[in-house]
Amino acid sequence: MKHRIYILISWVAMCIGATSAAMSEDNKAVAAKKPIKPALIYVLGDKDSDRAFVDAARTGAERAKDEFGVHFTEYRMHAGEDVTSMIKKAADSGASPIIAVGFQNVMPVLNLAERYPNTHFTVIDGLVPPLFPNVQSVIFKDHEGAFLVGIIAANNTRTNHIGFIGGMDVPIIRNFAMGFVQGVRHANPEAKVDMEMIGTTTKAWSSPEKAKEIAIKQYESGADVIFAAAGGSGLGVLEAAKDTDNFAIGVDINQNALYPGHVLTSLIKRVDIAVYTALKTAYDDEWSPGIKYLGLKEGALDYAVDEYNRHLMNEELIDKVATAKERIVSGLINVEMYSPR
């Protein structure tokens, strides 16, 4: 009996020792894990929200904060501020990864990457050539999502006259426009599409008054649906749709509820997923450089159907758009990308 008790005690001691050793190894792994100090850099006007692109980025960062306790510092730039200086300020503070939201960050990151080899840079919506091991860029296949809302616009126009209003005149917005026009023509070859950009500086993202002025002009010329790919400026287009009793299509986040009955749908661009993934992979020590492409297949783009616009989207149209989406993902429909000449 004593012998059995001795064996049992020895076995328990061995288990406790093994468990303690395993816990010790886990603790060492946690202790060895390098903490991250992320920064989120973006351009925003005088308001605290754009109800679009920047808000989506913040949502992704807040999700990371809630899920694994990563606190981030926000660097908010106004139009015209020096981007390089702002990113350098973040890098000098020891921030990493630095998540720079927008194409305007491409050249500044390229200029700073070699000087800060221990800092990880992620540029959202800007194509950075894969020259450095500490730079990552996330590119959305905006033309794919724009194709789908183009189909929706073409099926809801009563005048065969549709509009597109872009923010800053840059290749990314031209890519939205190109996909949108292809979607319109796919569904309605007879439809006319007017196209106009708000400006050539970053002020174009935060000029809803100017966007509204352009939209009213397009509506008065006969357009009855306008797709606004203009960041915070797009709110002016949505308001113009309400004021003139026409339709607009929102962008970046679901904007259907802003002017119910006048927002035909919204092209949802999951900037939140891009930001969250950059933070999650950095936290897990799995962040990697290079170019990441996100499109319909990756669930990064979609159109919104909810209680605010369901009455504007009959089942036949929903099926038509769903079929186009499947064909794009499978490669049966090729949506051409904009390519600067």
- Please list, in sequence order, all residues whose beta carbon lies within 8 angstroms of the beta carbon of residue 234, skipping any fewer than 6 positions away: 52, 165, 167, 208, 211, 228, 250, 251, 255
Per DSSP bridges, beta strands 263-269 and 301-303 are antiparallel
pLDDT band at 22 (very low <50, low <70, confident <90, very high): very low
What CATH superfamily is the domain 39-141+272-294? Response regulator (3.40.50.2300)
pLDDT, one tens digit per residue, over 152-204 is 999 999 999 999 999 999 999 999 999 999 999 999 999 999 999 999 999 99
Q: What is the mean pLDDT of residues 240-244?
A: 98
So what's the pLDDT on residue 80?
A: 84
Residues facing residue 192 across a β-bridge: 161
141 vs 5, higher pLDDT = 141
Over residues 271-322, the pLDDT tens digits come to 999 999 999 999 999 999 999 999 999 999 999 999 999 999 999 999 999 9
Quick one: fold of 142-268+302-330? Rossmann fold (3.40.50)
Q: What pLDDT is stored for residue 33 in this prediction?
A: 59
Extents of the domains making up the chain: 39-141+272-294, 142-268+302-330
Distance of CA 181 to the CA centre of its chain: 21
- pLDDT > 90? residue 17: no
Position 275 scores a pLDDT of: 98
pLDDT of residue 145: 98
Residues 340/170, Cβ–Cβ less than 8 Å = no
Q: Is the pLDDT of residue 229 over 70?
A: yes
Q: In sequence order, what are the beta bridge partners of 229?
A: 166
Backbone dihedral angles phi then psi of residue 262, each to the nearest 5 degrees: -120, -15
Q: Is 10's pLDDT higher than 90?
A: no
